[in-house]
Structure 1
Amino acid sequence: MMAPQARDPETTHAAQDPATGHPRPPRREFKARGSFVERCDGCRLPVLNCLCPYRVSTTSEAEVWLLTHPLEHNKPTNTGRLIADVLPQTQVFDWHRTAPDAGLLALLADRRYVPFVIFPDDQPDYQHRVVDERAVVGVKQDGFIPVFILLDGTWRQARRIFRKSPYLDGLPVLPLHTDRLTRYRLRKPASASHLCTAEVAAELLRKTGDGVAADVLDDYFDAFNESYAASRFYHKIDKPSAPMQRLLDRRMAGSAHLVDPRG
């Protein structure tokens, strides 16, 4: 007679409900959503609808610095990285409460820049710091470089960054007042008036005189939004949308400028 095989205590426990003693179905290996999707190394979107053909770089008088929550930084649905694609001078910093980024601190001390923290003006304790878009225009007229510091994360994360970053305390606060409603389709916001990071940047650029950069970023965001949403349902976009076509036309026009007219 064969001796009974020893059982793995963890396997036995996992196969039995401790409350009822009834057997449980076998556990399947955990896989995160999207873990099987093949992604482009360049844009991090599913290769089915890669965003790279629509990437267009431009310039702006104002710069954008992203202070990104560590839980947000690697999410493929994050739109902050779209800003850096369109505006190469964009700076991206990881936020850690007890370890401020040395590069960010150095830039904050650089007198060429006048940074504005983008945040709602809904609390009384910092009302003395609140300005509007005219302050940004004035900075340009004075020969300095205005900077929009965007707190890149959920609303809860952004409020924590704002409250827990002493090096931001002395900076002017620029709230974004707009009637625009979000077009973001990849996460459900608490309110339609809560714009995602790329939408906020586009609105700020437009309101302060960088219209071309705002238009390019808006189109690039729409291309991202449509490409990612279609890929979730394994749908291949065969015909470019209007924003996609405008980006393709801009790329073509930029390539044409590089051609030597002498042949």
Structure 2
Amino acid sequence: MSRSYCINCQYPQSACICHAVKPITTATDIIIMQHPFEVGHAKNTVKLLKLALPQTQIYVGETADDFAELQGYLAAQNRPVYIVYPNEHSQAASQVEADNKAIIVLIDGTWRKAYRMLQLNPWLLNYPSLHLECDDESQYVIRKAKRSDSLSTLEAAAYTLASLEPSADIAPIFAVFNAMVHHKLSAMPAAVRQRYDSDKFKG
């Protein structure tokens, strides 16, 4: 029997999170460069980000040819463009004065895939990069990461947005995130749930 999906949030009816969706708009624009492997991943957070912030733009691909349209779009902008990716030249997002009209670009993929995408898209070096200084661990306890400083794409986008646009209310972004995580955890058998160290979840 095929599963029935909610026409609004696109999650299975049994996992519908529409009750938690309260769309917002921001002066800062968010663009996601999404690796193809992430598109259908059940635990990917970009779909959640899009629900909370409908203006989010998503480009799927891996190579420079895949992102030709995005390159053209960014080149035509007269607004600051920042790539959210930590490196030796990146600046802390909290130190940037973007006048609430910036464009931030995030790469959605594992650390290995994100690094590969950077190598395949040297045009990204034309833009300054940002990193986050977060004291809290990621609350995405249902998806394991090898690095302790890993954040989900939704978390990275929300925290960067909060730094560049302090007046923005990011609570609705975390509301849909928390709703999905709670549902995933509650649907797990108790023995399995313990593996995800769910006591770290603060939602």
Question: TM-score normalized by structure 2?
Answer: 0.83
The residue matched to 1:163 in structure 2 has which SS?
Answer: helix
The residue matched to 2:47 in structure 1 has which SS?
Answer: helix
Out of 169, 174, 181, the position equivalent to 2:130 is: 174
* Contact 2:21-2:52 at 8 Å conserved across structures: yes
* Contact 1:63-1:146 at 8 Å conserved across structures: yes
Question: What value does the CA root-mean-square deviation take over the aligned residues?
Answer: 2.5
In the TM superposition, residue 185 of structure 1 has moved relative to its aligned partner by 2.6
How far apart in 1 are the matches of 2:102 and 2:39? 24
In the TM superposition, residue 131 of structure 1 has moved relative to its aligned partner by 2.5
User: What is aligned with 2:185?
Assistant: 229
Change (3 A) 1:88 1:112: farther
Change (3 A) 1:134 1:194: closer
In the TM superposition, residue 211 of structure 1 has moved relative to its aligned partner by 4.8
Residues 120-178 of structure 1: per-residue CA shift (max 9 Å, x gap):
12x4xxx2xx22336642x317xxx2111110011111111112102212110101121
How far apart in 1 are the matches of 2:175 and 2:71? 32
User: What is aligned with 2:16?
Assistant: 50
How far apart in 2 are the matches of 1:42 and 1:75? 18
How far apart in 2 are the matches of 1:88 and 1:112? 22
* Contact 1:185-1:229 at 8 Å conserved across structures: no
Structure 2 counterparts to residues 1-263 of structure 1, below 5 A: 38-121=4-87, 123=88, 127=89, 130-133=90-93, 136-137=96-97, 139-140=98-99, 145-233=101-189
Larger Rg over CA atoms? 1
Counterpart amino acid of 1:73? V
* Contact 2:59-2:67 at 8 Å conserved across structures: yes
How far apart in 2 are the matches of 1:146 and 1:183? 26
How far apart in 2 are the matches of 1:147 and 1:66? 11
How far apart in 1 are the matches of 2:148 and 2:138? 5
Change (3 A) 1:110 1:98: closer
Residues 54-101 of structure 1: per-residue CA shift (max 9 Å, x gap):
211111121110000001112121101222111121110012315233
Aligned residues: 192
Counterpart amino acid of 2:116? R
Change (3 A) 1:74 1:113: farther
The residue matched to 1:113 in structure 2 has which SS?
Answer: coil
* Contact 1:180-1:193 at 8 Å conserved across structures: no
**Structure with bigger RCO (C-alpha 8 Å, 6+ apart):** 2
Residues 211-237 of structure 1: per-residue CA shift (max 9 Å, x gap):
54322212221112112332345xxxx
How far apart in 2 are the matches of 1:179 and 1:37? 40
